[in-house]
Amino acid sequence: MDPRPPVRPPGAAAAHRQPAPGAPAPAFARVNGARMSSPGFSRNVNGFRGLCVSLVFLHHVAHSGLPPAADPESLWQLALQDLFMSFGYGVELFFMISGYVIVQSLRRHASVGGFLADRALRIFPVWLPLGLVLGIACVVVGKLGFVASEPAWWLPVVLANLALLPPLVPLPLVHPASWSLSYEWLFYLACAALALWSRSATRSRIVLVLWIVAAAWLIAAIPRSLFFLPGVALALAPSVFAPLQRATWLGAFSLPLMLACWYSTGIFAAQFGTPLWSVVAAGQGIAVLVALLAGTHVFACVGAPDDAGWPLLRSRAAQHLGRISYSFYLMHPVAMAVVKPIVVRTVPEGWPATLVFLAASALVSWALAYASWALLEQRFARWLKSRGTAPASGTAALPQGQSA
């Protein structure tokens, strides 16, 4: 995921981002002027990142095989089990944030190439070292069929993973969550292509139609990518969502509604296994629509000005976790893989093992994530940026740790 402190959402800062009345800027046009391109910081959205990664973490605890199975005769136990399983859709909530942030990022960058370079500098300083370490670990433990005597199989698989090609190509994943980064890159490339068309002096309608067809096919083939759309919509038309922000407390109801409806569709595979047309044909079209509308309402509430919205998101814990959420997202499966065998061997099975696993995994995940954030997201990424070109004229360099 790309969990970074984002630009300020619609609210007090919205006025200076809007063009003059009667002269709206193109959706992905670069906004000139330091005042218009200088981003703010949304505590609500940053805290929402912390909430999203917490949901994903709790899902993996529930999916670890350590909690006792729900009693099939107990409705509340079955409901609780489904709730924790639906927390895996915290990834979709991350996608909504990405949809919003990427539109702002494209507007801020002078060139599409600069935008893609910024995305690469955001994702790969953490992913490349981690992916390489995991690729080597696969040889040591024999995961994915790797053995030291098969370098011809190991090398292309690891290189493909470092380039975030699986599951876009039929190769195994060295990291169970890297599929979402691959989806992010598809979204980046799709938005970059549309930005090139939008900034072109000659905007061919045929090219636009081809882009729309390709984007629609990708969304249909990868239904989880539907949740990029609410973020894009909020970034393009913030005034449309203002009425939804007048009662942000309703988001406490729309969030579980979104999770429940999306979970009911059966769309959970990270691979290209469940296309949207199959879900609709199975009679789940209404559930998809309700989930998308409820998710849109959730993100509209999160995108409210910082003096509104959910107080939980502005808590110190949510803010801290939001800042390190990208590293936490990538590091917590690694931490769990290390902690779980120790817990299984030393703690009585059932709820004791589950609670110890939860606490120990959270602590180790936080330690790894904080180290990754400080060393890779901050120092290493800043060093890489310093080796590149300075921000183009008319764009403002972002404050430390506050890039989109």
Distance, CA of 34 to CA of 38 (rounded, Å):
6
Distance, CA of 176 to CA of 29 (rounded, Å):
36
Contact 14, 287 (CB under 8 A): no
Query: Can you read off the two tokens belonging to residue 51?
Result: 């909430």
Helix (H, G, I), strand (E, B) or coil at 159: helix
Q: What is the pLDDT of residue 334?
A: 95
Q: What is the pLDDT of residue 228?
A: 95
Contact 181, 164 (CB under 8 A): yes
Distance, CA of 125 to CA of 383 (rounded, Å):
10
- What kind and span of H or E run contains 289? helix 285-302
Mention every residue, 6+ apart, whose C-beta is less than 8 A from residue 403: 4, 5, 39, 118, 122
Residue range 217-251, pLDDT digits in tens? 999 999 999 999 999 999 999 999 988 888 888 88
Site of tokens 């959270």: 362
Q: Is the dihedral of CA 85, 135, 328, 220 positive or negative?
A: negative
Angle at 143 between CA 141 and CA 147, to 5 degrees: 70
Query: Can you read off the two tokens belonging to residue 23?
Result: 């002269």
Distance, CA of 92 to CA of 51 (rounded, Å):
12
Contact 356, 342 (CB under 8 A): no
| Other CB atoms within 10 A of residue 315 CB | 14
Distance, CA of 366 to CA of 332 (rounded, Å):
8
Distance, CA of 91 to CA of 306 (rounded, Å):
23
pLDDT along the chain (404 residues), means of 10: 47 41 45 38 91 97 93 91 92 94 88 91 94 87 60 82 91 90 93 93 92 94 93 92 87 94 82 80 94 95 83 94 97 96 95 97 98 96 77 36 40
Short-list 362, 259, 322, CA closest to 46: 322
Query: Can you read off the two tokens belonging to residue 70?
Result: 């729900």
Residues in the chain: 404
Q: What is the pLDDT of residue 246?
A: 84
Q: What is the pLDDT of residue 269?
A: 62
Contact 5, 403 (CB under 8 A): yes
Short-list 400, 319, 332, 331, CA closest to 372: 331
Angle at 372 between CA 369 and CA 378, to 5 degrees: 125
Q: What is the pLDDT of residue 271?
A: 54
**Nearest 10 degrees: CA dihedral of 316, 319, 320, 326?**
160
Site of tokens 């935008």: 115
Site of tokens 């060393």: 375
Site of tokens 């030291």: 148
- Is the pTM higher than 0.75? yes
Query: Can you read off the two tokens belonging to residue 25?
Result: 């800027």
End-to-end CA distance of the chain: 13
Mention every residue, 6+ apart, whose C-beta is less than 8 A from residue 75: none
Contact 175, 330 (CB under 8 A): yes
Q: What is the DSSP string of 253-288?
A: HHHHHHHHHHHHTT---SSS-S-HHHHIIIIIHHHH
